[in-house]
Amino acid sequence: MINTLLLPELREMLASGDEQGLREFASAIHPARAAEFMEGLSPQEAWDVLQASDSAKQAEVFGFLPDSMKVEILETVNPAETSPLVADLPADDRVDLISDVHPDVVEEMLPLLPAAERRETLRLMEFPEGTAGSVMTTEVARLGENLTVHQALEEIARQSEDLETVYYNYIVDEDNRLRGLISARQLVTHFGKPDTRISELMQRDIVTVQATDDQETVAAKVASFDFIAIPVVDEQQHLLGIITHDDIIDVLREEATEDAHMAAAVDPLDDSYLETHWFTLAWKRGIWIGILFLAALLTALALQNYEAEFQKVSWLVLFIPLVISSGGNSGSQSATLVITAMTHGDVKLSDWWRVIRRELAMGLCLGSSLAAAGYICAVILLKGFAPEDASGQPIFEVPTFAEVLVIPITLVMVVICGTLCGGTLPMVFRRLGLDPALMSNPFVAGIIDIAGIVIYMNVAVIMLDSLS
């Protein structure tokens, strides 16, 4: 392993114009590792390092640099110098990059690209972010049906420099309609029988996606079929491009992060936490915090209706946070379990009755356990540690054992309310055609906060009235 080279040495090679050393640096180690070493350099320095290598290597190393650095390089260095590199990038990466660069630079850059790359870039840029079209690449091997294994290998070898992958190769008719798939594995396996026709070997039942499909759906398909790549077609089955395993992994990571952010009521970020502009972050957090705040105001409104109760039975105040957090926590659990299960296809809308039964039973079980613990703790707290005023008198009337039953009864009801709301609301959202992840934990918790207060006060009023 050759990763003992350090940033200072790289800088020294740059300063002394040691082109030979720089070329060796880029060719000896994996491009991803070379890119990692270069992260500490300025955009101009990084560009000088890249310049020392041949163009294929340049594009590879450049591809692994952090997005922000790529953008900086393109915005710093003269587009006339960088355009050959941009032209060498895989089409999907090129489009991703261009969408982040300042429009003025893009305007200067586009006319400098070769006509084919320019047309392709403009075409791919039309697909909206988050669709299959926006993550596909067009650089895929297209083979005619009549080739033999030997001819196909020759053809792929010839095209290989322009291909994103040689592992899945597609057979198309004269109209570019998808007819079949032959993997490099099948070709290599039949290496000893070079005259076999690929039409005899090719798979005809091909799983495809449409360019307008959601990237999350595409990733789920690739994951369940264990593909290295999946072809993207239009409605007439014309082959538009492919999405490769590395893009799928990026999509999965991106979607997992988005879901985590939504579950915490943050509008998903486009960049990483530290790279996101502070104002953008404030907006993406503030908008949801604001909505949740309005929901929480309703709890104040609800409590106001019971003000008289609190004045009469002031120990009820002590358990407000306990009651609402118990409901909120059990609701978040249920919501998250159902949302993740729906994302993986383990829970379908038709399972609604099973979910309700499970969550009802779960609410009953968890609620009863908390109720038992809550009763004991409330008795100890209220009867054993009742606060006293200066004269030694308790500052509130110490409740009887029967009166403290308000707490456990409320807990059972609130936890059941939590599990049922948490379990069903994401399914309701899915049914309405909305993203179930919108029914995020803070929202479930917010709804249950209000319900919890109403339940608590009604239980208290009914219980205490009937006991007095």
Beta carbon nearer to a second copy, 102 or 204: 204
Tokens of 108: 């200067």
Contact 444, 332 (CB under 8 A): yes
Look at the chain and count its residues: 468
Q: How far is the CB of 440 from a second copy (least distance, A)?
A: 10
Which pair of tokens denotes residue 253? 């990571």
Q: Quick one: tokens of 297?
A: 């105001």
* Gap between the Cα atoms of 364 and 62, Å rounded: 57
The two three-digit tokens of residue 321, written as one number? 């946070």
Helix or strand run (H / E) with residue 24:
helix 19-28
Least separation in angstroms between CB 110 and a second copy: 26
CB of 138 to a second copy, least distance (A): 18
Q: For residues 119 and 193, which CB has a smaller minimum distance to a second copy in the complex?
A: 193
Give the Cα separation of 167 and 184 in Å (integer): 5
Tell me how far apart the alpha carbons of residues 147 and 122 are, in angstroms, rounded to a whole number.
33
In the bound state with a second copy, the residue whose beta carbon lies nearer, of 111 and 286, is 286
Q: Which is closer to a second copy, CB of 30 or CB of 431? A: 30
Q: Evaluate whether 190 touches 182 at the Cβ level (below 8 Å).
A: no
Choice between 191 and 401, CB closer to a second copy: 191
Measured from the CB atom, the residue of 79 and 231 that comes closer to a second copy is 231
Which is nearer to a second copy, 112 or 381 (by Cβ)?
381
E-strand spans in 89-159?
142-143
Tokens representing 239 are: 């082959």
CA distances to 9, 25, 34, 173, 317 from 2, in Å: 14, 10, 11, 47, 66
Q: How far is the CB of 4 from a second copy (least distance, A)?
A: 11
Residues 6+ apart with CB under 8 A from 297: none
Shortest Å, Cβ 115 to a second copy? 26
DSSP state at residue 399: P
Output 84 or 194, the one with its CB closest to a second copy: 194
Q: Which is nearer to a second copy, 44 or 305 (CB)?
A: 305
Sort strands 142-143 and 168-172 into parallel, antiparallel or unpaired: parallel
Q: How crowded is residue 399: how many other Cβ atoms within 10 Å of its Cβ?
A: 21
Nearer to a second copy, 305 or 400 (CB): 305
Measured distance CA(9)–CA(261) in Å, rounded: 40
CA proximity to 48, closest of 16, 71, 5, 89: 16
Smallest gap from Cβ 374 to a second copy, in A, equals 7
Task: Return the closest-CA partner of residue 241 out of 149, 159, 176, 182.
Answer: 176
Q: Which is nearer to a second copy, 132 or 362 (CB)?
A: 362
Residue 104 Cβ vs a second copy, minimum distance, rounded to whole Å: 28
DSSP structure string for 101-125: S-HHHHHHHGGGS-HHHHHHHHHHT
Minimum Å distance from CB 111 to a second copy? 30
Closest approach of a second copy to the CB of residue 468, in Å: 18
Which has the closest alpha carbon to 211: 290, 125, 111? 125
Q: How far is the CB of 8 from a second copy (least distance, A)?
A: 19
Query: Distance between terminal CA atoms of the chain?
Result: 81
Query: Could you give the angle at which helices 43-51 and 7-15 cross, rounded to 10 degrees?
Result: 70
Q: What is the closest distance, in whole angstroms, from the C-beta atom of residue 76 to a second copy in the complex? A: 23
CB of 93 to a second copy, least distance (A): 11
Q: Output 15 or 274, the one with its CB closest to a second copy.
A: 274
Nearest Cα neighbor of 441 from 359, 347, 328 is 328
